[in-house]
């Protein structure tokens, strides 16, 4: 009987592999403290910007790779000059647009685009800024868990382009990303390294610490404050299919790693028996990187 129940749960976990990324992200946001963690740092960034921005100038924000769960309430309430939500996933943008219409919210624009291409160099970014983003630079640019979808070799030119082309003379870029330093068995980083290496020979090399070091040596950032910190968040839900949906998102299935049916079954059984049936939460160590421009004093992170 127990094995029958195990197999039924495995089928539920396998079915979650077909969940859209924005749906998995919504589950993660609802049953973890990750959004609150990112919002805490974001609020400190906004507090810093508000101190130095003229009260007569409404602030503008750009959320890149926003998904359907951007820091929406905080951004919309603070950035009266408008917020632009930029994502490749039209389904995620449609979910945001439905909410904007239902709640009759003003000052929100959704834009579909591929940040890795659109912000790859200054000329491309300037064209996008004119055509899609209102033509004026932003006080705040966020990349919250969106750099996963480009290789680290592209990060420096993307961030440099955003800093030089899209950011206001006094502004900030806030980046949040899973840390490669977490090695505990219940961590998302461990799950990714274990299964991506086992089946594809790949481990997590996406390191904001390395990006910080690169930017510190870049002459384009000599006037910048580049700050970092690390935090930890936890996730658990008593529905196994819902528990598995963010696991598939973390494993970048199917966009990056096309695990076979047998591989997906092995992953699901492992997560079920090692973590979920033991009521163990998933954990994620998050690296935060904040790049301030034009501040006369120390910024917060």
Position 1 pLDDT exceeds 50: no
pLDDT for 238: 96
Query: From the CB of residue 295, how many other CB atoms can be counted at a distance below 10 Å?
Result: 17
The string of DSSP letters for 84-113 reads: EEEES-HHHHHHHHHHHHHTT--SEEEEE-
Strand partners, 86: 64, 111
Tokens representing 238 are 């008593």
Q: How many CA atoms lie within 13 A of 144 on its CB side?
A: 26
C-beta separation of 188 from 287 below 8 A? no
Q: Does the structure show a pLDDT above 60 at 247?
A: yes
Which tokens hold the place of 197? 């290496």
Does the pLDDT of residue 76 top 90, yes or no?
Answer: no
Are 53 and 170 in contact, with CB atoms under 8 Å apart? yes
CB–CB of 248/19 below 8 Å?
A: yes
Residue 208: which H helix or E strand, with range?
Answer: helix 208-216
What pLDDT does 82 receive? 94
Calculate mean pLDDT across residues 265-276. 97
Alpha-carbon distances of 127 from 1, 130, 218, 259, rounded to whole Å: 62, 5, 24, 38
Q: What pLDDT, on a 0 to 100 scale, did the predictor assign at position 273? A: 96
Q: Order of strands, edge to edge, in the sheet holding 167-178?
A: 108-112, 83-87, 61-64, 138-144, 167-178, 282-293, 224-235
Answer yes or no: is pLDDT of 125 > 70. yes
pLDDT tens profile 219-236: 999 999 999 999 999 999
Q: Is the pLDDT of residue 2 over 60?
A: no
Rounded to an integer, what distance in angstroms lies between the CA atom of residue 238 and that of residue 154? 38
pLDDT of residue 296: 94
Question: Residue 70: pLDDT band by 50, 70, 90 thresholds?
Answer: low
In this structure, are strands 167-178 and 282-293 parallel, antiparallel, or unpaired? antiparallel
Give, to the nearest 10 degrees, the angle between helix 21-31 and helix 34-52.
90
Position 96 scores a pLDDT of: 86
Residue-averaged pLDDT of the chain:
93
Please write the tens of the pLDDT for every residue from 102-121: 989 889 999 999 999 999 99
Contact 171, 137 (CB under 8 A): yes
Give 43-54 pLDDT, tens digit per residue. 999 999 999 988
Q: DSSP class of residue 280?
A: P
176, pLDDT greater than 50: yes
Distance of CA 99 to the CA centre of its chain: 20
pLDDT at position 4, please? Answer: 64
Give residue 77's pLDDT.
86
More confident residue, 96 or 141: 141
> Residue 69 pLDDT > 70, yes or no?
no
Whether the per-residue pLDDT at 3 is higher than 70: the answer is no
At 185-220, the pLDDT tens digits run: 889 999 999 999 999 999 999 999 999 999 999 999
């Amino acid at each position: 009987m127990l094995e029958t129940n195990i197999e039924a749960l495995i089928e539920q976990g396998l079915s979650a592999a077909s969940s859209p990324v924005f749906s998995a992200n919504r589950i993660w946001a609802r049953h973890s403290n990750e959004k609150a963690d990112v919002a805490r740092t974001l609020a400190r960034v906004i507090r810093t910007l508000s101190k130095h921005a003229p009260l007569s100038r409404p602030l503008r924000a750009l959320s890149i790779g926003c998904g359907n769960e951007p820091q929406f309430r905080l951004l919309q309430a603070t950035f009266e000059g408008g917020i632009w939500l930029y994502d490749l996933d039209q389904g995620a943008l449609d979910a945001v647009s439905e909410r904007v219409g239902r709640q009759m919210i003003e000052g929100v624009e959704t834009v579909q685009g591929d940040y890795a291409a659109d912000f790859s160099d200054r000329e491309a970014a300037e064209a996008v800024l004119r055509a899609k983003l209102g033509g004026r630079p932003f006080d705040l640019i966020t990349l919250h868990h969106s750099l996963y979808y480009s290789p680290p070799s592209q990060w420096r030119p993307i961030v440099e382009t955003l800093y030089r082309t899209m950011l206001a003379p006094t502004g900030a870029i806030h980046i949040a990303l899973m840390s490669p330093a977490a090695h505990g068995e219940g961590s998302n980083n461990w799950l990714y390294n274990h299964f991506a290496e086992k089946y594809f020979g790949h481990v997590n090399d996406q390191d904001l610490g390395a990006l910080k070091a690169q930017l510190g040596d870049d002459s384009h950032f000599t006037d910048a404050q580049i700050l970092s910190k690390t935090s930890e968040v936890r996730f658990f839900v008593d529905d196994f299919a819902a528990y598995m949906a963010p696991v598939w998102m973390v494993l970048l299935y199917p966009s990056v790693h096309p695990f076979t049916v047998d591989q997906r079954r092995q992953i699901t059984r492992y997560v079920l028996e090692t973590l979920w049936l033991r009521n163990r939460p998933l954990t994620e160590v998050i690296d935060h990187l904040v790049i301030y421009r034009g501040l006369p004093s120390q910024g917060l992170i």
